[in-house]
Amino acid sequence: MARTTLVLLTATALTVMALATGCSGPGFGDADVKPAAGQEPQEAAAKLDRERRARAAAVKRWGLVKAPLSAPPAPAKKPHLDTREGFEVEDHDGLPPVFTTVPTEDKVVFLTIDDGAEKDPAFLRMMGELKIPYTAFLSDYLVKEDYAYFKKMQATGVVLNNHTLHHRYLPDLSYAEQKREICGMQDVIEKRYGKRPALFRPPFGNYNEDTLRAARTCGIKAVPLWNEEVFVDHWDYREWDRDLHPGDIVLSHFRGKEDWKGTMPDMIRRFLKAVTDKGYAVARLEDYL
């Protein structure tokens, strides 16, 4: 069967305004707190006050200018996912959908972080204290340096997904080689973290029909790519308007000062400032799939 190579490129870079802001997730809204069974109204009020104080302290501690916006509840009916127009392969029927945006009217974006090179403890603390949801796509050749770091990440509710064993350019590989890269990473994540992923992101965003057929064979249900990429000092945009849209998937990487002009917490501050300034919350990708 002929294989069609699809190369996906992000658009030109824009510099995002410096400094910080906020995000989304549990504990960051001002929604009413209902007392648990047997809980007195005074206890519920006290809990809400503690959460607000903790939020304010975390926002200040991590250098955010604004408190994060809170994401709406996860949709009861999940959006139907189709492959984005122009991203199809020759024979796409029955293959996992490839998409850059989740269909939703909610003013939310989804943060995804790739590979696993940087293992910054401050990043884990920041994301945990601010309760920012994100999704990780991991490659074993980097993760194996410290499996425990990503176990701590998983314990905070982050879903660990597949980014292949060795981060190779998949369209250059045979079907069998691609299957080893994808199924092999499925095996690693199941062994180390207890569950085979449903999501897969091809390295560099490059794939062909064999990639998607192999991914399906390995148990992959969907292939989220991205519409924007955020760095320490700028953003890249796929769309001509160079803006965020409801349901956009945002890419970043586990990187530090060896690769960037800053740290992962620096990147998160810039990400949150742009997102919050535009009136978006950060939601959990898996809640919409």
Q: In the chain, what are the domains?
A: 18-288 (3.20.20.370)
Residue the block writes with tokens 């509710």 = 157
CA dihedral 97, 251, 198, 90 (to 10 degrees): 30
Instruction: Name which of 38-42, 141-145, 197-201 the model is least confident about.
Output: 38-42
In angstroms, the CA 104 to CA 107 distance is 8
pLDDT at 26: 34
Kindly state the percentage of the chain with pLDDT values over 70.
87
Phi, psi torsion values for 55, nearest 5 degrees:
-60, -50
Phi, psi torsion values for 224, nearest 5 degrees:
-75, 125
pLDDT band at 43 (very low <50, low <70, confident <90, very high): confident
CA angle, 251 then 245 then 7, to 5°? 45
pLDDT at 124: 98
Kindly state the average pLDDT of the residues 85-107: 95
pLDDT tens by residue, 225-270: 999 999 999 999 999 999 999 999 999 999 999 999 999 999 999 9
In angstroms, the CA 167 to CA 115 distance is 8
Kindly state the average pLDDT of the residues 49-58: 88
pLDDT at 31: 38
pLDDT tens by residue, 5-29: 443 333 333 333 333 333 333 333 3
- DSSP labels, 213-268: HHHHHTT--BEE--SEEE-SS-EEESSTT----TTBEEEEE---TTTSSS-HHHHH
Q: Record the tokens describing residue 127, joined without a space.
A: 């994301």
pLDDT band at 37 (very low <50, low <70, confident <90, very high): low
Which residues, other chains included, contact 155 with Cβ-Cβ below 8 Å and sequence gap of 6+? none
Identify the sign of the CA torsion 189, 191, 192, 195.
positive
Kindly state the average pLDDT of the residues 88-96: 92
Rg, the chain, Cα only: 19
pLDDT at 36: 56
Neighbour count for residue 18 (Cβ, 10 Å): 10
DSSP state of 108: E
Kindly state the average pLDDT of the residues 102-126: 98
pLDDT of 119 above 80: yes
- Closest residue by Cα to residue 167 from 180, 181, 153: 181
Kindly state the average pLDDT of the residues 206-216: 98
